[in-house]
């Protein structure tokens, strides 16, 4: 049985992060890519394994930005809609921009941490009704593409499960993402607690036992009865040496995490 471990990394600026269900109108943020100082980052054993499985720490540290193009299938009942999208991802800035050229004009939106904004087009475009908000779609694509780095996000705690679980014929170790509770002083001088806001009540990263890659993530919003699963397949190497999924699939699930309906399939070019 695997020992339960919890890695706590607190960033007090995280109390300012806000999560929204959709996206607000805005303009493209001037987010510069950066290379991290790995010696200054607390890396848990499971995060190190995830990085080693997808190119290694040095390769990830050297990856300021990843540009991906894909053919996207959006399932709509018994039919589907095909489109193309571009993804610009900056792993160490927790940032993604999605650009989708459509017949009536390009739709583009970005997600920085939990803050989503529409850069071009309309957030509620009928053509891009993916069975989830564009904010949730962007988060899922960003997280599964950069899952090893996401396990280092300082605004969360991550708890490694004691027991492996089986899904789709593979054994996984669940790693639960939890909101940081940051101690602050109240007006009365007593210690209070501020919980970092977030979109989801629970997020679980699933790390494969055989390869240590995190290729499945589950998002739960129990209050709204909304559940989303994203999976990565067929990993390919980028120029910087990191491995990212060349196929991404998104599903709605029930409260137990069992897939109910495929929503989107992404095939990288």
Kindly report, residue by residue over 108-145, the tens digit of the pLDDT.
999 998 889 888 886 555 557 888 999 999 999 999 99
Half-sphere exposure in the Cβ direction for 155 (13 Å, CA): 17
CATH number of 5-21+41-268: 2.50.20
CA distances in angstroms from 19 to 16, 139, 140, 160, listed in the order given:
10, 11, 14, 24
Quote the CA–CA distance of 178 and 162 in Å, as a whole number: 16
Task: Using DSSP bridges, classify how beta strands 259-268 and 191-195 pair: parallel, antiparallel or unpaired.
Answer: unpaired
For residues 136-165, average pLDDT: 95
Token pair recorded at residue 15: 């109390």
In DSSP terms, 174 is beta-bridged to: 206
Residue 115, H or E segment: strand 115-120
Task: Give percent of the chain with pLDDT exceeding 70.
Answer: 79
CA–CA separation, 230 vs 142, rounded Å? 10
pLDDT band at 187 (very low <50, low <70, confident <90, very high): low
User: H-helix or E-strand containing 219?
Assistant: strand 214-221
pLDDT digits (tens, 9 = 90+) for 201-244: 999 999 999 999 999 999 999 999 999 999 999 999 999 999 99
pTM equals 0.85
Q: Which of 61, 80, 86, 245 is nearest to 152 (CA)?
A: 61
Higher-pLDDT residue of 242, 17: 242
| Model pLDDT, residue 129 | 83
In the prediction, which pLDDT does 103 show? 85
């Amino acid at each position: 049985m695997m020992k339960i471990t919890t890695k706590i990394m607190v960033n007090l600026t995280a109390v300012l992060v806000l999560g929204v269900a959709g996206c607000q109108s805005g303009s493209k943020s001037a987010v510069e890519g950066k290379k991290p100082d790995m010696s200054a980052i607390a890396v848990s054993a499971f995060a190190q394994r995830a990085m080693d499985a997808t190119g290694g720490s040095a390769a990830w540290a050297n990856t300021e930005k990843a540009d991906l193009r894909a053919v996207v299938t959006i399932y709509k009942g018994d039919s589907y809609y095909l489109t193309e999208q571009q993804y610009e991802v900056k792993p160490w800035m927790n940032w993604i921009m999605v650009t989708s050229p459509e017949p009536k004009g390009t739709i583009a939106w970005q997600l920085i941490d939990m803050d989503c904004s529409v850069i071009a087009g309309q957030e509620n475009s009928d053509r891009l009704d993916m069975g989830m908000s564009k904010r949730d779609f962007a988060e899922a694509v960003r997280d599964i593409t950069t899952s090893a780095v996401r396990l280092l996000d300082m605004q969360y705690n991550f708890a490694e499960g004691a027991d492996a679980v089986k899904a789709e014929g593979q054994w996984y170790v669940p790693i639960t993402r939890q909101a940081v509770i940051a101690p602050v002083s109240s007006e009365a001088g007593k210690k209070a607690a501020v919980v970092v806001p977030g979109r989801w009540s629970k997020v679980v990263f699933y790390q494969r036992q055989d390869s240590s890659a995190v290729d499945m993530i589950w998002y739960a919003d129990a209050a709204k009865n909304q559940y989303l699963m994203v999976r990565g397949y067929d990993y390919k190497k980028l120029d910087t040496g990191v491995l990212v999924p060349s196929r991404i699939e998104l599903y709605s699930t029930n409260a137990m995490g069992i897939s109910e309906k495929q929503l989107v399939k992404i095939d990288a070019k």
